[in-house]
Structure 1
Amino acid sequence: MRERLAKLLPISFRGRLALSFGTMTLVLGILVYGYVGHVYRAQLLVDRGEALHDLATAAATVLAENLHERQREIELLAATPLYRRSALDSPDLRRSLERLQHAYPAYSWIGVTDAGGVVRSATGGLLAGVDVSQRPWFINGRDAPFMGDLHDAMLLAKVLPDTGDKAPPRFLDIAAPIRDERGALRGVLGAHIHWNWASDVVGVLNPLLAVQKQRELFIADHNGQVIYPSAGARAATLPPLTTAVLDTQSRFTAALWEPDAEYVSAAVALPAEFTSALGWRIVVRQPLHVALQDVVALQRVLAVFALAIITVFLALIWWSATRISRPLEQLAGLAMRIENGEENTPLEVEARSVEVRHLIEALRSMASRLIERREALRDSNARLEHTVAARTAELEIANEELQRIARHDALTSLPNRRAVDERLHEEFIRMRRMRRPLAVLLCDIDHFKRINDTYGHALGDEVLCHVARTLQRSLRESDFIARYGGEEFIALLPATSAEEARHVADKLRRSVETHPHPLAGRVTLSIGFAVADGRHEHDKQAVREADDQLYAAKREGRNRVCGDDRGGEWPSADAHRQLHSAQ
C-alpha cells in the first residue's frame, strides 16, 4: 500500500511541498467560501424577509381600514333620521343611495329592503321589487352590521352594465339593519362592492412594489385560495398558496410554490378588530434567487479570489521550495507576528537563493493583497449596510405616511373617527386618574343637506372645510377637534366643567354663525355636550349623552347648544375605596 502511494505522490521535496500546501489552501478556500456564503445568505434572507413582512403588514392595514370605513359608512347611513323615519321607497331615500354610490364608485349596487326582504329602493332602480330574503347579507343584516366574504352575484351581474370583462364579477356584501325610533326593524340597507376595489386599494402600495425586484402581492381567503389578483392571464399561472406560507409562525418563510420555483414569502392576517369574519391574509413574495442575488455575486468574487490565491501560492512554493529550508524558521517567526496582529512587520530574511527571495516578495505581496481585500470587503459591507438602512428608512417613512393617512380625514385634514376613538380613550383614562372632568361636544351643521342640494357637493365640501378651520381657530391648543362623520364634528375639552363646556360650545356656535361662507352664506351649528366624570365607567358614555343632547338641540330649532349641566361629580374617598375593592 505504501509502495503504491509512493509511486502516485511526487518524489521531490518541491513537488511534495507544493502538493501539500496546494491541498491545504484548496480545503481552506472551500471552507471559507462555504462559511462566508452561508452566513451572508442567512443574514440577507432575514433582511429580505423582514422587508416583505413589513410590506405585507402595511398592505393589510390599508385594506382592513378601508373595509372598516365602508362598513361604518353603511352603518351610519342606516342610522340617519331619513332611513329611520321616511318611507323606504321615497325619492329622498333613493337620492341618498345615489349620492353615496357617486361618492364611492366601488359600490356597484346599494339598496334598501323592507323587513320581509323585498327591495324597495336601489341605485339605478336595479333589483327593485325583487325578493332577496334568502340572501346571506339580508339574513345576517337584520340582526347586526354584516360583512360577507367575496362571492359571485349572478342575479346582480345580469342587470349591471356590461364592462367587457370575460370573468364573472365578484362582490363583497355589507349590510346593516334599519330600525325605527322604537328600535323595531324596518328593513336592511345592503351594498355590493365590486372586487375591482381591491386593485384601487392595493394600488396605493404600487410604488413600494415597483422599487423592489419582482415582488408580488396576493390576497388569500380563509381557505388559502388566491382572490387577488382576480382570475386572468396573470393569476391563472399562480398555484394555491402552500400551508407553509400561510400557517408558519415566523414572520417570513422560504418555500416552494411550484416544483421549480422557490420564493421568500411573508403572510399577514388582516387585523381582527376590523375584519374578524373574513379571515383574509396578505401574502407578499419574491423569488428566492432574486432576493439572494447579492450572495451569488459575493460567492463568485470569493471563488475567483480563492483560485487566484491558490495559483499564486503554488507557483511561489514550486520555485522556492529547493532553498526554503534554511530561512523557513525565520519566515515562520515573522508570519506568527503578522498573525498576532503586527500586519506591518517587514519580511526581512537572509536569502541566498533567488527562490527564497521570490518567496519573501510573494509573501509580502500576498499580505498586502489580503489587507486590501479585507478593506475592500469592509467597504462592501459598509455600503450594503448603508443600502439596507436607506431602504428601511424609506419603508418607515411610507409606514408613517400610511399611519397619518389612516388617522386623518382626507377632506378637512382633521383627525378622523379612528383618531377620535384613540384620543377619547387616552383622555378618559387621564380624567379618571387626575379626577378632572372631560367635556365632549358634538357639533352638527344645520341644514347641510340643503347646502348640498342647493350649491352642489363641491361647495358642500368647501363649507365643511370652512367650518373645520373656524372650529380649530376657536379652541385651545390642549383641546381636540375632529371630523366625526358626514357634517358632524366632535371636540374633546380636558379639565373642563359643564359651565365652561357650555361657554365654549356657545362660543363655537357664535364663531361659525358670525363667519359666513363667501358663497353659501350664513352657516349655523347645533351643539350637544356632556361632561364625563366619576359617574361614567366607559369612555363612550359621554359621547352617547352628547349625541342625545345634539338631537335635543335639533328638535328645539337648531342653532343652539343643549347639554347636561351636571359634571365634575366624583365618589367620596370611602366610596372610591369600596368601588376599587369590589373591582
Structure 2
Amino acid sequence: MKLLNKKGFTLRFSISFLVIVAVLLTMLIGMISAIQVNRDSLVSSYLQSNNQYAKKLASNTGDLLTTMKQNIVSIAAIARRGNSMNTTLLDDLYQENRQYFNSIFIANENRVIQFMSSNTTGVHPGDKLTSEASRIAITSRTPFISNPYRSKSGRYIILISSPIFSQKGEYKGFVGGTIYLEEKNVLNSLLEEHFFGNGSYVFVVEKTGHLIFHPDKKRIGQAVGGNSVVQKVIAGANGSQRVTNTQHHDFFAGYAYDPISSWGIIAQTPTSVIEGPSSNLINKMLLQSLPFLILVLLMGWWVANQISRPLHTLAKFSDEATLNLGKGKSLPELRSNYYEVRLLYQSVKIAFQNINQDMSQLRDEVKMDGLTGLGNRRSFDSVMTKLTTRHTPFSMILLDIDHFKKVNDTYGHLTGDEVLKFLAGMMEDLAGDRSLNFRYGGEEFVILVKHEDTNYAFQMAERVRKILSVTKSPTGEPITISLGVATFPVHGNETEEIIMKADQALYQSKINGRNRTTLSEGVEQKEA
C-alpha cells in the first residue's frame, strides 16, 4: 500500500495513525496519572506509619526507662538498711532485674565500689570509679540517667543511678545499673523486633547526636548529627520527612522525641520500596490494555478500508480529540448519503466512548483500597462531601479491630492483611445494599448508611460486631471490633463534625472495654 497519493497521505494511513496515537496517549495519560497517585499514596503511607511507629517506640522507651529507674530506687531503699546488703543479696536483686541491666553495683560516697553483681567482668569491689557519670551521681545525689560513655572496662555504657542515704539521712553513696550498648541489652530487646524485610529499621540517638542503638552494632557511638532528622529530633521535635542520611542513602523517616531520656527515636524505610509496586502497576496496566489496543487498531484498519475519500470534518475532529483525551468532547453531527461515511462515523464514535469509559474506570480504580477492595479514604471524603452538600440524612459507623497490633506481632503482617480482607468481606456481606463500605486507614473502617435513622445504624453495627465475635478469622480465632455511630444532621451539620463525633464514640467503646458499640450521645450496647 502506498502511503502517499498525488495530493498527500492516503486516508487509510491517516485514520490508522490517528487510532494508534489516540490509544497510546490514553494509555500513557492513564498510566502516568495512576502511577503518580500510587506513588504519592505510598510515600504518604510510609511517612505516616513510620512517624506513628517512632512515637510508639518513644513512649515504650520512656516507660521502660522509668521502670528501670524505679527498680534502682528500690534497690537503694534496700541498701539503706545498712548491714543487710551483701554480694549474695545484690546477686539476687540482679537476677530479678537482669532483663533490664547488664550489671548492678553499689559505690560509696568516694566512688569506690563496695558490691557488684558476680557475673560482671573488668570492674571489681574496691575499684574506684572515674567516669563523669559517677561524679554526677555523687554530686547530684538524685536518681538520674547518664549520657553514654566509655567505662573503665572499655564498654560503651549508660548508667542509671539512685543515691543511698542512711536512716539518719547521711549520704552513703549510690546504686548503679548499667546497660552495655554494644552488647545484648534491654534496648536491643525492645527495638530489634521492629525490623522488616523491606529494609526498614529503627535507630536511637542521644542528645549530642551519637548513636546509642543501631541494627549495625559497629555504628553504636558514631556521631550522626549531620542528619537533618537527627537535628530535629534531638531538638525535641516529632514528625516525618524524606531524608538522605549520613551515608547518602534515601529514606522515608518518622521521628519522635522521648523527654524522659532526651533520646530521639527514628524509624525509616528505604525510598526504593515504592519502585516495586509502581513497576507492578505499570505491568498490570499494560497487560490489561493490550487486548483493547489490538482491538481498536484492527477496528481502525477495517474502518479505513471502507472509506473511499477524505472526510475533512471527521479528520479535523479526530485531530482535536487526540489533543483533548478524557475531556468528554462529543462527535459533531455528520449528514452524509454515503454508507462509508456513516459507518466510519459510528465506529469512531464507539471508539472514543470506550476511551472515555476507560479513563473514567482508571480514575475510579485509584479511589479503591488495593488490599481490601473497599473504597479508600479519598472516595470516602468524596462521598461524605456529596451527602452533606445535598443534605442527605445518613449515619456513619466507624469501627476499629481490637488489639490488631497483637495480631501482627503474633501471626505476622501477612496474616494481619488477611484479617483486614476478612473484615472487609464480612462488612460487604452484612452491611446491606443500602450501605457503603470504606477502609478509613490502618485497621479502621467506615460504613455509611444512607436514608436511615440512628437506631437502624446502631442495630446494623451490633449485627456486624456480634457475628464477627463468633466467626473464625484467618488467625484461627474470632476477632472483636469496637464501633462508634454518629448521624447527620442529628449530631452535626459538617463532615468534620460527624467524623469527630463517630471517632469520640469509638474511643468511648475502647475505654469501656472494647467489643461494643457506642452512639455519639453515649448510649452503648453491652459486650456480647
TM (norm. structure 1) is 0.50
Structure 1 stretches lacking a partner, 5+ long: 1-5, 158-168, 403-583
**Corresponding position: 1:253 with 2:236:** no
Secondary structure, counterpart of 2:127 in structure 1: coil
Tell me the CA shift for residue 305 of structure 1.
5.9
Please show how residues 78-93 of structure 1 align to structure 2 within 5 Å: 78=76, 80=77, 82-87=78-83, 92-93=85-86
Per the alignment, residue 60 of structure 1 pairs with 58
User: Which of 158, 178, 185 is equivalent to 2:171?
Assistant: 185
Q: Deviations over 1:9-49 (max 9, x none)?
A: 95334444554565565555544433332233112210121
Per the alignment, residue 151 of structure 2 pairs with 153
**How many Å separate the matches in 1 of 2:160 and 2:345?**
82
8 A Cα contact 1:97 1:123, kept in partner: yes
User: Which of 364, 370, 378 is equivalent to 2:350?
Assistant: 364
Tell me the CA shift for residue 240 of structure 1.
4.7
The percentage of counterpart residues that share the same residue type is 13
Q: Deviations over 1:144-163 (max 9, x none)?
A: 212112233243x6xxxxxx
Per the alignment, residue 490 of structure 1 pairs with none
Structure 2 stretches lacking a partner, 5+ long: 378-398, 410-528
Amino acid at match of 1:60: A
**Corresponding position: 1:131 with 2:128:** yes
Q: Deviations over 1:142-184 (max 9, x none)?
A: 22212112233243x6xxxxxxxxxxx4321111211223433
**How many Å separate the matches in 1 of 2:247 and 2:148?**
29
Amino acid at match of 1:226: L
**How many Å separate the matches in 2 of 1:295 and 1:379?**
15
Per the alignment, residue 140 of structure 1 pairs with 136
**How many Å separate the matches in 1 of 2:373 and 2:198?**
15
| Counterparts in 2 of 1:379 and 1:295: CA distance versus 1, 3 Å | same
Amino acid at match of 1:219: V
**How many Å separate the matches in 2 of 1:199 and 1:362?**
71
Amino acid at match of 2:93: L
8 A Cα contact 2:39 2:274, kept in partner: no
**Corresponding position: 1:262 with 2:246:** no
Per the alignment, residue 437 of structure 1 pairs with none
Which of these two proteins has the greater Rg computed from alpha carbons?
1
Secondary structure, counterpart of 1:214 in structure 2: coil
| Counterparts in 2 of 1:201 and 1:110: CA distance versus 1, 3 Å | closer
**How many Å separate the matches in 1 of 2:245 and 2:402?**
26
Per the alignment, residue 494 of structure 1 pairs with none
8 A Cα contact 1:148 1:172, kept in partner: yes
**How many Å separate the matches in 2 of 1:203 and 1:354?**
78
8 A Cα contact 1:170 1:194, kept in partner: yes
Compare the two structures and name the one with the higher helix fraction. 1
Tell me the CA shift for residue 281 of structure 1.
1.8
8 A Cα contact 2:179 2:185, kept in partner: no
User: Which of 91, 110, 114 is equivalent to 2:104?
Assistant: 110
Tell me the CA shift for residue 187 of structure 1.
1.2
**How many Å separate the matches in 1 of 2:55 and 2:22?**
49
User: Which of 172, 175, 198 is equivalent to 2:158?
Assistant: 172
Amino acid at match of 2:264: R
8 A Cα contact 1:239 1:257, kept in partner: no
**How many Å separate the matches in 1 of 2:283 and 2:160?**
56
**Corresponding position: 1:213 with 2:195:** no
Secondary structure, counterpart of 1:222 in structure 2: coil
| Counterparts in 2 of 1:137 and 1:33: CA distance versus 1, 3 Å | same
| Counterparts in 2 of 1:317 and 1:349: CA distance versus 1, 3 Å | farther
Tell me the CA shift for residue 50 of structure 1.
0.7
**How many Å separate the matches in 2 of 1:342 and 1:28?**
14
8 A Cα contact 2:104 2:178, kept in partner: yes
Secondary structure, counterpart of 1:69 in structure 2: helix
Amino acid at match of 1:115: E
**How many Å separate the matches in 1 of 2:188 and 2:97?**
16
Please show how residues 551-566 of structure 1 align to structure 2 within 5 Å: none
TM (norm. structure 2) is 0.55
Tell me the CA shift for residue 245 of structure 1.
3.0
8 A Cα contact 2:254 2:267, kept in partner: yes
Tell me the CA shift for residue 199 of structure 1.
5.6
| Counterparts in 2 of 1:365 and 1:16: CA distance versus 1, 3 Å | closer
**How many Å separate the matches in 1 of 2:96 and 2:215?**
25
**How many Å separate the matches in 2 of 1:366 and 1:239?**
61
Please show how residues 514-533 of structure 1 align to structure 2 within 5 Å: none
Per the alignment, residue 98 of structure 1 pairs with 91
8 A Cα contact 1:175 1:188, kept in partner: yes
User: Which of 264, 267, 271 is equivalent to 1:284?
Assistant: 267
